[in-house]
Structure 1
């Protein structure tokens, strides 16, 4: 069991090591050199300050030659610091270029992966397939719009005109049937004869009433 666990841990370690590229190692080494140069600059600067103070003491003691030697050594330190400044500038520029190159490489890898994905999508869908899908989608949208218009009761002006035209056709086609049926016959109006009979009956009743009295 212990060996198994040990192998697994070794594999993880190997995977971690493979993630470090040569560019990463180069950047790390350059940064380490930069740090060493800065530490050396700081050390030389402190030494130069001490030599200046010591030269001042020598001058107070009248030891001019010793003071001169210290100042010469101090001047040499200044030239070293100037050279180190140039080296530091070169290192910083190189670190920047390497890091930027790594970023560019990652961007290129991303673009390459994106291009491969696009190629796969293009292989899946040809121009004809895309056009067919778009046509089917358009037809489905138009059909859905027709259903929505019917459900909402909304009709266009053209639809209203079609409705009126159909109504006129129905009316025209139904008129002959109404004429064939004709107008229903009305009851006859009573003529003059029934009125004379009524008047005679009334006169007879009047005469009978007078005789009875």
Structure 2
């Protein structure tokens, strides 16, 4: 039952709201007065005609004077209504302007907080890291995709691979004499099986061919 005794949120009614409400109430009362007075004017007009028909000229004249006074009052109320309507519009527009200003203040404060959270150095570092990651991804995609290198690049790769293979073979036979050093030395027969490095080169070529297909 706690919710029964809970306090309802109070609405924020400003002084401007009260002023607008009071002006609208006054405007409605003036309109009601005008409507009632116009109805009475028509009745007085008809009554004045009846009095003239009955020969009561002075009473008819008195009634017409009353009618004239009411008409002048109605003319004044027209001007009053115009001023009230203008004031209501000015106040309501001023309230809108205040809400706009308040919204701008809130937005400005939020923007300041966001700017304080963002550091230029951190942003530059993140952008650099993002660019590096993207560049690395492009390199990986190019290698996996195959065919991304030009013919000149492929030739350079083959040359570098041949140099590595030759260097590996040379290291496997460091003390083997050559025909130029001793023509009488009999050179060993060429092995029928390829060295491990040569086999790896062949397998690499086969993988590249399969990826390109």
What TM-score results when the alignment is normalised by the length of structure 1?
0.66
Structure 1 counterpart of 2:90, from 97, 102, 112: 97
The root-mean-square deviation of aligned C-alpha atoms, in Å, is: 3.1
Structure 1 counterpart of 2:10, from 16, 24, 40: 16
Gaps of 5+ in 1: 185-213
**Counterpart Cα distance in 1 of 2:39 and 2:147:** 92
* SS of residue matched to 2:135: helix
Residue 35 of structure 1 pairs with residue 18 of structure 2: no
What count of residue pairs does the alignment treat as equivalent? Answer: 170
Shift of 1:36: 0.8
Moved over 4 A (4+): 168-175
**Counterpart Cα distance in 1 of 2:13 and 2:165:** 94
Task: Give the equivalent residue in structure 2 for 1:115.
Answer: 108
**Counterpart Cα distance in 2 of 1:118 and 1:128:** 19
Q: Of the two, which has the highest radius of gyration?
A: 1
What TM-score results when the alignment is normalised by the length of structure 2?
0.66
**Counterpart Cα distance in 2 of 1:146 and 1:171:** 23
Structure 2 counterpart of 1:62, from 38, 55, 63: 55
Structure richer in helix, relative to its length: 1
Task: Give the equivalent residue in structure 2 for 1:195.
Answer: none
Residue 82 of structure 1 pairs with residue 75 of structure 2: yes
* SS of residue matched to 1:93: helix
